[in-house]
Chains A and B, each alone.
Chain A
Amino acid sequence: MNDQAPAIEVNDLTVAYRDKPVLWDIDVQVPRGVLMAIVGPNGAGKSTLIKAMLGLVRAAAGQVLVHGRPYAEQRKLVAYVPQRGSVDWDFPTSVLDVVMMGCYGSLGWLRRPGKKERDAAMAALGQVGMQDFAERQISQLSGGQQQRVFLARALVQNAGLYLMDEPFQGVDAKTERAIVTVLQQLRAAGKTVVVVHHDLETVPEYFDWVLLLNVRRIGMGPVDEVFTEENLRLTYGGRVPFLQRRNGHLEGTKPVDDVRRPDASMAAD
């Protein structure tokens, strides 16, 4: 195996819905062991990029390599955390049952999860602070708890590369802390994590790599090199509430009548 190859490498990826390109000629190389945020405005193709990496949406062109080999051969190395809104939380099942789905891939056909899988699922639930909820019906969970269940399900896979679609979307402060802790544990264990992220303010705090995306790749690399005002303006087309506020802080005296006062939610939408 090639130990020097990037955790994930995407070459010339193009995705189109009907005749409109959603992703245009994207190249990405994520080194191993980094926490990378994918940042960009709504409709920039952030979720589509993750789904295309996983083969969940059809790419018009392009190639995805995981640890130097085609993704199709490396599925077991990759764990996916979908947006929590993508499933019906009134489904008749328990928290433990959902988390055990993480081992369905390695379990093989016709085999039911047993004690080993149960233990792995309970350990993962403990990692996200949800061990007391194992027998809960999933419809009784709050949004943040749902997100932690999805994270636990991916942890059960014990993968080398984690792809997460908006794990911080609309979660409570406790969940945000729990997720950040897990991300740091994963990095400490040498794993690679790629996260679609909305909150520009927390990017430098939580992540060490960043991909700026708006249909095309605007920039990619270490946060302190790439996460610049210039690049963010290119990504968001000049309207960056985060930057406006930061500038206000820096210059101190800027009156608010020429810019819309940025609201408390830092979301770029």
Chain B
Amino acid sequence: MDFFSDYTLRIVALGAAALGMTSGALGSYAVLRKQSLLGDAISHAALPGIALAFLLTGSKAPLVLVLGAAVAGWVGTLVVMKIVNATRVKEDSALGIVLAVFFGAGLVLLTVIQKRPDASQAGLDRFLFGQAATLLWRDVVMIATLGGLALGVAALFWKEFKLLAFDPDYGASLGLPMRGLDVLLTSVLVVSIVIGLQTVGVVLMSAMVVAPASAARQWTDRMGTMVLLAGGIGALAGVSGAVISSMSQHVPTGPTIVLCLTVLVLFSMALAPNRGLVWAAVRQARNRRTLHMHAVLADLNELAVQHGGAHHGHATAVLEAAHPGARHELEELEQRGWATRAGDDWSITAAGQAEALRGGPGTRGRGDDEEDAR
């Protein structure tokens, strides 16, 4: 199996890389603006657009279908905004309604198309779960062109979009047209979603929007790095999933890509420095051990004081009585030079007494004079 000489695989990999990069990078904005569900609504809402575009034109040209998808995705977004503004229905409910109604309409239209006598040529159902193996060169060109345009817009309006994501009211007070920027950013997001539908499918496309950004956020505290990283993660997941699925006609691409993404997300959540769960657990365990160790040290000190001198030894069992497992803490104390042992008898050193007087962790290290905790 030679990936890079196989023509189909090369096309699939290029297309998946382009769409993964676009939706991953632009999905960062959706995640940062807490609009993760918007991507889901847009991609589901696009389905009737694809079906209608085919019914009206009889064409399956990628640009025609993508245009239909984009228009329907946009209409879906407008309906969500309209519902939120005009009724008491909240945004999450509005997104759910639009998603279900548009997707349902799309399924009905797909069934109609398949019942038509000339249905054999339709094959539009691949838009449900995606089929990377059906990608052609012209599809890849379209994906790369539209994706490049979308990314270009995001780069041009970098600082405005950042302000829109962080503090739109403040942006408006600066005189920036925040509503227009919102429309522009949403349009760019619609583009990044519809170019992935043929490969990933409407059902799981939202994962390409949300997951790369969520994974990237784990690794960095800078928005620029996050957007680039999300693009890279999206491209990596897209390529690996599309290539794996295109080796068999029977494996839909969307689910395969999502599985690859899941691996990357889990890896990031577990192992990213600072935010990773594994490191958090390690830090917590280390803190707990330090606390235990200082508790044992305090008791050693108390014993020494009671007996009028540091050189009065005590058996491990005495300390184990108050601190089950104190043996490990005692060894740690010995390593730090805060306790010494003679046989099974432990006693505190001068350095240990100084440390015990200073108090344990938590009573030190608060140099900041800020009264209010976060």
Contacts and interface: CB of A to CB of B under 8 A. Distances in A.
A and B form one complex? yes
Interface of A: 51, 54-56, 75-76, 78-80, 82, 86-88, 91-94, 98, 101, 104-105, 107, 109-110, 112-113, 137, 139, 141-145, 153, 157, 170-174
A51 B169 CA distance: 9
Nearest to B156: A110
6 contacts: A80-B169, A80-B173, A153-B170, A157-B174, A172-B372, A174-B370
Interface string B29-73: 000101000000000000000000000000000000000000000
Contacts of B370: 142, 144-145, 172, 174
A82 B170 CA distance: 7
B165 interface: yes
Contacts of B169: 51, 56, 80, 82, 86
B267 interface: no
Nearest to B159: A104
Given A91-B32, A170-B372, A171-B372, A98 B166 contact: yes
Contacts of B176: 104-105
A110 B369 CA distance: 41
Contacts of A80: 169-170, 173
A94 B223 CA distance: 9
Given A75-B174, A101-B167, A145-B370, A92 B159 contact: no
Nearest to B28: A92
Contacts of B170: 80, 82, 101, 153
Contacts of A91: 32, 165-166, 223
B207 interface: no
Contacts of A93: 162, 166, 221-223
A261 to B, nearest CB: 24
A54 B170 CA distance: 10
Contacts of B156: 110
B163 interface: yes
Contacts of A51: 169
A172 B371 contact: yes
A157 B220 CA distance: 29
B294 interface: no
A238 B366 CA distance: 44
Interface in B343-374: 368-374
Interface in B258-304: none
B104 interface: no
Contacts of A110: 156
Given A142-B374, A172-B372, A113 B167 contact: no
Contacts of A82: 167, 169-170
Contact of B167 (A86, A109, A112, A170): A86
B171 interface: yes
Instruction: Give the 10 A-B CB pairs with smallest separation, nearest first.
Output: A105-B174, A80-B173, A172-B371, A75-B175, A137-B221, A142-B370, A92-B223, A143-B372, A87-B167, A172-B372
A141 B370 CA distance: 10
B226 interface: yes
Interface string B151-170: 00000111110110111011
Contacts of B166: 87-88, 91, 93, 98, 101
Contacts of B317: none
Contacts of B34: 88
A153 B166 CA distance: 13
